[in-house]
Chains A and B, each alone.
Chain A
Amino acid sequence: MTAFSLEGISKRFGEVTALDNVSLSLNEGEVLGLIGQNGSGKSTIMKVMAGLHRPDSGVVKVGGRAVQLRSPAEAALAGIGLVHQEQSLIQALSVAENLFLDKPAGSTWAGVYRWNSLRDRAKAQLDKVELDIDPFTPVSALSFGQRQMVELAKVLSLEELVHGHLVILFDEPTAVLNPPEIQALFGQIRRIKHRSSVVFVSHRMDEILDISDRVYVMSDGRNVATRDRDAVNPDELYELMVGRQRVNRKDRKPREAHIGAEPALTLNHVTVPGEIEDISLKLAPGEILGLIGVQGSGAETILRTVFGMADDWQGKIEYFGAPLDIDTPAQAVAKGIGYLPAERKTEGMIRNTSVSENVAITYGWQHGRGAGLISRAKERGMIEGWVRKLAIKTPSIAHRIDNLSGGNQQKVVLSKWLFGKTLKVLMLDHPTRGLDPGARSDLFAVIRELADQGLAILLVGDTLDEVLTLSDSIIVMKDGRVSARIEGVQAAPPSEEDLVKAMV
């Protein structure tokens, strides 16, 4: 019996198609495992089901009846609850208050809490998930595992509010949990199956295979396969996840000749508590070192630590043989280290300012008159040179960066680092995120050329394809640690399936 279904759902965000004609059906009492790479549309599909996003086209059906889910509250009335990936609890409030915050009947009288009733009802919910804590404990005093259980209890309180069948959505609930907590969560999922269907998203293949009755594979906003658990072949799932984005091998050429002998950057046993552990790596001038891992694997943290943005780290970082002792980006830049952040709109570009100010912000003074005076006339010629060289499409360099396309914005942010005379190491964090294929291959060519000129490049890729195309060596990250190292990537490329196996 079908409890819930999506039929031909599409969802676009600007130029990006997040979901392309996706259909999904969920049987009563079934656990459906949802897998796919970053950006494959998993989270979007969950948000459509939970009423957080409205699809551009397609039909959502609950119990065979077409419905419109206009908000999470409407979804809740239809018996659909989302257990959030990012913790959605309000830390300063008690567990009990959090549990009933979004419910219409919240143990209140004339807007005032009836504390005894609230405590009893909260206790009943917490008993369901076997969490033995005082309902009036503030959330901030709980461990991440306990918070995840409270999130679950919050959704499970739908059991009393809704009469029909429930649909419980889990968006990467295990990301912050340790193995015993994961087992406890799985116990809960098996317990609620008698009156709920479950959709479970995880980056970890072993978990998906453990808990799911069926596996649903997403790639590029489409459903590429659905497999019953008995018929699952893990290797096949890896292949399906990686999808059709095969590496274009004709782009490759050996670059060993460009790579310097002495490392530019060396990390020895670098640890950032809670994020990365015991990371060692070497990066030579002219080399492109690709880092890859699922979200939260710690690859980005490595870049930010080298760039002076980690609050607290241990270990040793060497820069051209000397210890690198910095704690702000300004100091990193002064040494010749650049960083292209993943969040282009909030961290990369300086919005509401011109292309030229964006390019000149870091190194403009190097082309000035000295004594802190800048020369916009001299900058202009050079900025126009970079605009031509990187084929940045902009009416003029005085144009606002906000009005350019994403790919051109990214090229502007990149040219900020190329504008100076002192850059030796460039770190790229998901440089092609949100770019269309044309802009991506433009950017690939620029990155390769920079490496050929002797720049040491540390790259965190968005996709395997990107890292395999660009890198000389690859480090695969998993849960904050190095899980695989591959040298000589261009000469003997590893298979994408092997990389995915090391990631998840």
Chain B
Amino acid sequence: MDATLRFLRRNGAVLVLLVILAAVSTAAPGILRWRAINSLLQDNAPMLILIVGATLPILLGCLDLSIAAMASLAAVSAALLSPVLGSASVPVVVGGAAALGGLQGWLIGRLQVPSFVISLGALGIFKGVAMYLTGANMVGITPGIWIYDLLGSRSFGMSNSFLLVLIVAGLFAAMLKFTNLGRNIYAFGANEIAVYISGVRRDMVRSFAFATSAGCAALGGIMMISQTMFASATVAGSLLLPALVGVVVGGTAISGGVGGVLSSLIGGLIAILIRVGVTISGLPPESQDVAFGITILIAVALTTDRAKIGVVK
């Protein structure tokens, strides 16, 4: 009995994925075709990379609410920079985003303000700056730039954007498992004070986590424009909720210390299937957000460690 429960808890996300997949594919068998899967993964690669990046702050017990706004800002910036910098616009934008994310992480410790407030402020700033840069218009990307063409195309029959998601997720998973930094991230999420008193540089750990989530968000924005060739100040705005749903449904606890990048990837696949499920069930697209809202409530209620946070507010 105990063993069954443990098995369920450990593999819950995979089981949920399989159940939803079974339900969705019964309703629409076409979804199991390679082409359909491929195009789903390609369309959703930006969301998946956001989910991968958002995992690290959540492992610390923090929350980065600025990722979707950052993705939009990065898309806009990349489009505007592409005529001048060409392929170099991608590393410049991702690097700049990582620096802004790192600054957010550092500010949390410096100002002693909760991460959701800092990143909510950043959300507003990024959104406003993106609006200002575009004048609320669509901006097109200069065609024929190698790196955007690469991200928009396929290798071995798979979307290059999705392959990049797998590579980044693999790197993060290895970092979490094999490096001292990874150990510190989990321990930080379990008990920040004890980790601080153990001599871990907590500001550095936090800055790193927020730098990666912002960097991944920027990559997500770039993936979006490499598919659509256009960017606007709100292009990725709707990705915040599904990204957070992906992380917590995968089993990374919002209170920190438990979970991982690969779990989040599973959660991301669940989020994709929720989208598909809403569409094929004939509900209007607006109900996607309702479905995500309900899912995140259930997932957090099931995974939060209330003993650790003491008071719920």
Partner of A346, one of B184, B191, B200: B191
Give complex CA distance A373, B308 in Å. 29
Is there a chain B Cβ closer than 8 Å to A106's Cβ? no
Whether the Cβ atoms of A328 and B201 lie closer than 8 Å is yes
Contact of B180 among A332, A353, A368, A416 (CB under 8 A): A368
- Given known pairs A329-B199, A330-B201, A353-B257, the reply for A374 and B194 (CB within 8 Å) is no
Q: For A350, list chain B residues within 8 Å (CB).
A: 187, 190-191, 194-195, 198
- Shortest Cβ gap from B56 to chain A (Å): 16
Q: Which of B181, B183, B186, B190 contacts A351 (CB 8 A)?
A: B190
Given A350-B187, A352-B190, do A334 and B180 touch, yes or no (CB 8 Å)?
no
- Among the 9-residue stretches A185-193, A205-213, A225-233, A357-365, the one with 4 or more Cβ atoms under 8 Å from chain B is A357-365
Known: A361-B187, A373-B179. A330 touches B200 (CB 8 A): yes
Contact with B along A326-340 (1 / 0, CB 8 A): 001110111000010
Asked if B193 CB lies within 8 Å of chain A CBs, one says yes
User: B178: CB under 8 A from chain A?
Assistant: yes
Interface positions of B from 66 to 83, Cβ below 8 Å from A:
none
Shortest CB-to-CB span from A123 to chain B, Å, is 35
Could you say which of A309, A328, A346, A352 has the most chain B C-beta atoms within 10 Å of its C-beta?
Answer: A352
A347 contacts chain B at the CB level, 8 A cutoff: yes
Residues of chain A within 8 A (CB-CB) of B305 are: 352
| A346 close to B193 (CB less than 8 A) | yes
What chain B residues lie within 8 Å of A347 (beta carbons)?
193-194, 197
Nearest CB of B to A165, in Å: 37
| A361 in complex: contacting residue of B178, B179, B200, CB < 8 Å | B200
**Contact status B187-A374, CB under 8 Å:** no
A330 to B190, CA, bound (A): 18
A328–B200 Cα distance when bound, in Å, is 9
Question: Which of A341, A353, A416 has the largest number of chain B CB atoms within 10 A?
Answer: A353
**Contacting residues, chain A, for B202 (C-beta < 8 A):** 330
User: Which chain B residues border A416 with CB–CB below 8 Å?
Assistant: 198
Indicate the size class of the contact surface on chain B: 20 to 34
0 or 1 for each of A70-92: is its CB under 8 Å from B? (1 = yes): 00000000000000000000000
Q: Please tell me if A372 contacts chain B, counting CB pairs below 8 Å.
A: yes
Given contacts A364-B183, A374-B180, contact A352 B199 (CB under 8 A): no
The CA of A364 and the CA of B182, in the complex, are separated in Å by 12
Q: Which of B174-228 contact A (CB under 8 A)?
A: 178-181, 183-184, 186-187, 190-191, 193-202
B235 in the interface (beta carbon within 8 A):
no
The smallest C-beta distance from B217 to any residue of chain A, in angstroms, reads 24
Known contacts A347-B197, A348-B194, A350-B195; is-contact A365 B180 (Cβ 8 Å): yes
The complex places the Cα of A341 from the Cα of B308 at a distance, in Å, of 19
Least distance between B73 CB and chain A CB atoms (Å): 31
Contact A352/B194 with A329-B199, A361-B183, A373-B178 known, Cβ cut-off 8 Å: no
Distance A416 CA – B195 CA, assembled complex (angstroms): 11
CB of A237 within 8 Å of the partner chain: no
A464 within 8 A of B: no
Could you say which residues of chain A place their CB within 8 Å of the CB of B183? 357, 360-361, 364, 374
Bound state CA distance, A362 and B181, in angstroms?
11
Contact residues of B: prevailing secondary structure:
helix
**Scoring B residues 260 to 278 as 1 if CB is less than 8 Å from chain A, else 0, what string do you get?**
0000000000000000000
Query: Do residues B200 and A353 form an inter-chain contact, with CB atoms below 8 A?
Result: no
B258 interface contact, C-beta 8 A: yes
A339-B197 in contact (CB<8A)? yes
Closest chain B residue to A341, Cβ basis: B197
* A286-320 to B contact mask, C-beta < 8 Å, 1/0: 00000000000000000000010100000000000
Q: How far is the CA of A332 from the CA of B200 in the complex (A)?
A: 11
Which among A309, A357, A374 is the interface contact of B186 at CB below 8 angstroms? A357
B179 touches A362 (CB 8 A): no
User: Can you name the residue of chain A whose Cβ is closest to the Cβ of B180?
Assistant: A365
Produce 1/0 per residue, A93-106, CB < 8 A to B.
00000000000000
A341 to B196, CA, bound (A): 11
| Bound CA–CA A341/B193 (angstroms) | 11
Interface size counted on chain A using CB atoms at 8 A:
29
Chain B residue with the shortest CB-CB distance to A333:
B199
Given known pairs A360-B183, A365-B180, the reply for A334 and B197 (CB within 8 Å) is no
- B residues 148-178 in Cβ contact with A at 8 Å: 178
The residues of B that contact A333 with a CB separation of less than 8 Å are: 198-199
A:90-137 near B, CB below 8 Å: none
Residues in B whose Cβ lies below 8 Å from that of A374: 178-180, 183
A349 contacts partner chain B, Cβ-Cβ < 8 Å? yes
Residues of B within 8 A of A349 (CB): 191, 194
| CB < 8 Å neighbour of B199 from A330, A368, A373 | A330
In Å, the complex CA distance between A353 and B200 comes to 16
A433 to B: closest C-beta gap in Å: 16
Check B198 against A362 for contact (C-beta < 8 Å). yes
Q: How far is the CB of B137 from chain A (nearest CB, A)?
A: 45
Q: A318 to nearest B CB, angstroms?
A: 21
Task: For A339, list chain B residues within 8 Å (CB).
Answer: 197
Indicate if the CB atoms of A353 and B199 lie closer than 8 Å. Answer: no
- For A369, give the chain B residue with the smallest CB separation: B178
Give the shortest distance, in Å, between B18 (CB) and chain A (any CB).
Answer: 28
Alpha-carbon separation in the docked complex, A333 to B201 (Å): 10
Nearest chain-A residue to B202 (Cβ)?
A330
List residues of chain A with CB within 8 A of the CB of B179: 372-374
Given contacts A364-B180, A372-B180, A373-B179, contact A329 B187 (CB under 8 A): no
* Closest beta carbon of chain A to B303's beta carbon, Å: 13
* B256 nearest CB across to chain A (Å): 10
Contacts of B200 in A (CB 8 A): 330, 361-362
User: Smallest CB-CB separation from A307: which chain B residue?
Assistant: B197
Residues of B within 8 A of A330 (CB): 199-202
B190 touches A353 (CB 8 A): yes
How far, in whole Å, are A48 and B184 apart by their CA atoms in the complex? 42
Interface contact A353-B308, CB-CB below 8 Å: no
A352→B200 CA distance, assembly (Å): 18
Known A352-B305, A353-B257, A364-B183; contact A329-B197, beta-carbon cutoff 8 A: yes
**Least Cβ–Cβ distance between A374 and chain B, in angstroms:** 5
With A372-B179, A372-B180 in contact, is A334–B199 under 8 Å at CB?
yes
Beyond A330-B200, A351-B190, A374-B179, 12 additional contacts (C-beta under 8 Å) are: A307-B197, A329-B196, A333-B199, A334-B199, A341-B197, A351-B308, A352-B190, A353-B186, A361-B184, A362-B199, A368-B180, A373-B180
In the A-B complex, the 3 residue pairs with the smallest Cβ-Cβ separation, listed nearest first, are A333-B199, A365-B180, A330-B201
A-B contact pairs, 11 of them (CB 8 A): A307-B197, A329-B197, A333-B199, A334-B199, A346-B193, A346-B194, A349-B194, A352-B257, A352-B308, A353-B190, A360-B183
